[in-house]
Structures are given as C-alpha cells and as structure tokens.
Amino acid sequence: MPQRVEIRIRGAVPGEVAERLGLRASEPTTDTILRGPIADRPALYGVLDRLRSSGHELVEVRRLPNRVEPRP
C-alpha cells in the first residue's frame, strides 16, 4: 500500500512539476508543501533526487497517516 508523505520545499514549485511527480502542491508562501502517495522508499528517494537536481531546497519530509475509507 502506498504511503502518504508531505515534502516541504523552500520557495515555489510549479504545479506541473508536482503533477509530474504524482503529488499536489500547496500555494507557496515561503515554502511549498507537496503531498501525495509514494509507492515505497526507492520511489521517495527518486522524487527527492528529482527535486534536488532541479535546484529545490528540501526543508522537511514527513509520513502522513493513511486515510481510512469509510465502509458502505
């Protein structure tokens, strides 16, 4: 099951970059917060590497609780 994560980046990250990574971006104030599912640890490292190689400064990475879907 994919794990939900929150990645905080210093400055703005264009929405299309977040979409290509499979994440949603908040409206940046001083930092942009990217949230979404990540398949596994190698996938997370891949996302972080792509952000770093694009010149973005990583501030924080957090695992979020998985959402529990209500039963019908």
> What's the confidence (pLDDT) of residue 37?
93
pLDDT band per the 50, 70, 90 thresholds, residue 14: confident
The residue that leads in pLDDT, 47 or 2, is 47
Instruction: Report the alpha-carbon distance of residue 7 to residue 48 in Å, rounded.
Output: 9
Q: Does the pLDDT value for residue 5 go beyond 90? A: yes
Instruction: Report the alpha-carbon distance of residue 16 to residue 25 in Å, rounded.
Output: 9
The pTM for the full model equals 0.82
Q: How far is the CA of 32 from the CAs of 1, 24, 39, 46, 48, in angstroms? A: 26, 10, 21, 18, 14
